[in-house]
Amino acid sequence: MENKKLNKQLNNNVKKNHRRKKIKRVQKQGSFLIKFLALMLFLMLCFTCYMLYQKYGNNIPFLSQFLKEQKAANQNENQNELPKPEENEPKPEIKNLPPVQEHKFRYTYILKPQPKVTEINFKMLIPQTEKTNQMIKITSVSSKPNNFKKTKEAAIAEYSLKNDGGKPIVITFEGIIKNRTYNIKTARIIDKNIEPEEDLSRYLKPEKFIESDDPMIVNIANGITGNSQEEIIQKIYEYGQNTITYTITPTVGAKQAILNKRGKCSEYAAIMTALCRAKNIPARIVAGDFLRNYDTPHNWVEIYFDKYGWVAYDPTHMGTKEYIEKDGKQTEGKRILDAENSTSDYIALGRNILIFYPLEYSCRSRKNCSVALTRRFEIF
């Protein structure tokens, strides 16, 4: 009996040891399997990141820049409005600021290459947030650019495109703009804490289409005098309005427009900019659009004031309307040449830009080698 009990106990001990060994073996195998799966997952993640980098690597600067802009835009949006005048600041004659307007907008670019075109390099101006007059939030872009460059004057999205048998290529982007017209009247009543421009020398130099050193333009500028910068600008504005007639022509710049006595918005802007620079007043041309469904690009001018920063003037427009009261009714008379009231509501795309060349392309032969570009701007 004792032998049977002893044998039974030994068998139980053997079975327990066997079970323990089996459990340890399974645990080791499980641990190895978990480690193996974790390693495979890590390798798959590395491979996925590598493939994404190969495909979208060039877009990383654009995305990071885009996120930074969105963060800045959100911070500005939290403020809920553009700068207000200081409460204790004495109010000038114009007591009310222009209202802040909010619009949704869309830019559409349609490229139609001919069959012999092989590669297309396309550049697109993207509007930026400006402290004094516009806050921009880009909400969607139809296709990510291959490269994105940003300076104080412009943000440019660059695309490298392939011709797919002449099929149209459509690129769109949408956004939201909050804006207020920042003319000299607005500048007088909002916060004067404008950060001074570090280097204004670029906006005093002559350049293509802005021939501020040409003897004819220098001579005209010398004949314009005034007791203040604002008075000089008013006379420069009057000179442009009285010298040329609005006509749709190719862009020829300030000097040729004065000689031809005609031109469109780019010529009005070039004349004002050239004369300001000849008078040692920093000025630059702005490219953009009217904030209404008026699908024609526009140029206007920004002039620098030590006290206010960059202030908008539109030399193409004739300023305020004069109203005549007759028989108890007001009728519209002639327009008054008033530079202070020349501006409208715009969306600015780039500064110090008169002509922007968005297209470059290569072809298999010279025949049938062109790309038609259509641009649309919409407010909705």
Residue 36 has pLDDT above 60, yes or no: yes
Question: Which pLDDT value is given to residue 214?
Answer: 97
How confident is the model at residue 358, as a pLDDT? Answer: 86
Average pLDDT (160-189) is 90
Kindly tell me if the per-residue pLDDT of 106 is higher than 80.
yes
- In terms of phi and psi (left: phi > 0; alpha: psi -120 to 50; beta: otherwise), the region of 240 is alpha
Q: Quote the DSSP letter at residue 355.
A: -
What is residue 85's predicted lDDT score, i.e. its pLDDT? 41
pLDDT score at 86? 40
Domains of the chain listed by start with CATH number? 60-379 (3.10.620.30)
| Residue 282, pLDDT score | 97
Secondary structure class of 173 (helix, strand, coil) = strand
Phi-psi region of 253 (alpha: psi -120 to 50; beta: other; left: phi over 0): left
Q: What are 231-240's pLDDT values in tens digits?
A: 999 999 999 9
Q: Cα dihedral sign for 143, 144, 145, 151?
A: positive
Q: What percent of the chain has pLDDT over 70?
A: 73
Structure tokens of 127?
Answer: 């509007």
Looking at the DSSP bridge assignments, the partners of residue 95 are none
| Mean pLDDT, the chain, integer | 80
Q: For residues 119 and 34, what is the distance between their CA atoms, to the nearest angstrom? A: 50
- 272 burial type by CB count under 10 A (0-12 exposed, 13-18 middle, 19+ buried): buried
Rounded to whole angstroms, the Cα distance separating 349 from 347 reads 6
Of the two residues 42 and 71, the one the predictor is more confident about is 42
Residue type, 130: E
Range 345-354 average pLDDT: 89
What global pTM score does this model have?
0.72
- The b-or-e profile of 63-72 (16+ CB within 10 A means b, else e) is eeebeebeee
Report the alpha-carbon distance of residue 7 to residue 282 in Å, rounded. Answer: 108
End-to-end CA, the chain: 100
Residue with tokens 């993640």: 45
| Per-residue pLDDT reduced to its tens digit, 147-160 | 999 988 899 999 99
Nearest of 269, 338, 345 to residue 303 by alpha carbon: 269
Residue 138: strand pairing partners: 175
Q: Please name which of 278, 343, 336, 263 lies closest in space to residue 311, comparing C-alpha atoms.
A: 343
Please report which confidence band the pLDDT of residue 60 belongs to, taking 50, 70 and 90 as the band edges.
Answer: very low
Q: Which pLDDT tens digit goes with each residue over 121-131?
A: 999 999 999 87
pLDDT, position 216:
97
Which of 21-25, 99-103, 308-312 has the lowest average pLDDT?
21-25
Which residues have CB under 8 Å from 289's CB, separation 6+?
296, 297, 298, 346, 347, 349, 377
Residue 136: count other Cβ atoms within 10 Å of its Cβ.
22
Dist. CA 96–CA 189, nearest whole Å = 9
Q: Is 161's pLDDT higher than 70?
A: yes
- Among the residues of the chain, which ranges form H helices? 2-56, 60-79, 184-189, 215-222, 229-243, 254-260, 265-278
CA 254, CA 270: separation in Å to the nearest integer? 5
